Structure 1
């Protein structure tokens, strides 16, 4: 007895619409989970990544079993490929919303960065300011490591105070909460999140 008989569904409706839709949504789910699993792996969250991997594999097996049972239909292949592509998009959207992990932001500006430095201090953001030289003259180079969820605030401040600045953003796997000792023997902690200076 097949699914059309069990659920009293027209076989053509089942084969040309319902099964392709199930495959499409299953692929969206498993590819989205795969995207999140990779993100959690990169952030050393092994238990969450392991659980996500289990569900990813289970959903993928369900989708591929339906493909093999309906090999004659082009619509199943189209649903499989379309679900994969949409799953990448959905996974990236979810990842942006979750804002997991840390980022390092580098800002290079020819204009003095005093206002941006004041902003970092007011927000209790750890930063390092260096004086540098470019082909066009002296520049300020600022580095800050922060939770990714704070990135929109940082970028908005850069655009407000130093709109001509060049900035880069990179993901960071781990951040140490170490100490630096200056030439006077005083130590201070660097890159600690949520604390004061």
Structure 2
């Protein structure tokens, strides 16, 4: 017990360990907060209360240590650095979770029949129509609503079938119906089909 008290009073704890603990606490609470806010905006509200509780609990621990060490400027830098790092890490985690639904719009000057066929074969629901481009040239526009984690698969189909196609992707908060790729019996997309 005496050893711990001596350690807590040491310069090593005050100027290295304590700022590091505050930094890590701040990274944790801001990361959780960032993921919580993004999930709420995507309509995934079930996790928000739990994540909010953990976020504020960790924040209170960090703030308690800041107020107990108001004369230690390294704690302030650790707090601010943890905030910045937490935002970045939270966005990286959210990107990996890939929560949500996207609308992809594909515009192609090339005949779209093969691209439409490949998207349907991969199990994606699509809507398409003919249109006129800015130079009055004929184009095809293809729309699909997909789960966010499916975007790389759809991009691979587009780039393999029609690398010159223009496409844009938008977040969608809610949809009335969504056709998910068929798992059983569907063939995964392979180059050269």
CA-to-aligned-CA distance 1:114-143 (integer Å, 9 cap, x gap): 222111111110111111111121111111
TM-score where L is the length of structure 1: 0.84
The residue aligned with 2:19 is 20
Contact 2:8–2:14 (CA under 8 A) maintained in structure 1: no
Q: CA RMSD in A?
A: 2.2
Tell me the alpha carbon deviations over residues 41-89 of structure 1, each in whole angstroms, 9 at most, x when there is no partner. Answer: 1233323111101111111111122112222222111111111111111
Identify the residue that residue 86 of structure 2 maps to in structure 1.
Answer: 87
Q: TM-score, normalised by structure 2?
A: 0.86
Tell me the equivalent position of 1:61: 60
Mind listing any 5+ residue stretches in structure 1 that lack a counterpart?
A: 178-190
Residue by residue, what CA displacement relative to the aligned partner does 1:6-42 show, whole Å, maximum 9, x if unpaired? 3634521111111111111111111111111112212
**Cross-structure match for 1:166:** 166
| Structure 1 segments (4+ residues) deviating >4 Å | none
Q: 1:102 to 1:7 in 2, by over 3 A?
A: farther
Tell me, what secondary structure is at the counterpart of 2:65? helix
**Structure 2 stretches lacking a partner, 5+ long:** 184-193
Aligned pairs (5 A) from 1:20-169: 20-136=19-135, 137-169=137-169
User: Where does residue 193 of structure 1 map in the other structure?
Assistant: 180
Paired residues, number:
182
C-alpha distance in structure 1 between counterparts of 2:96 and 2:17, whole Å:
31
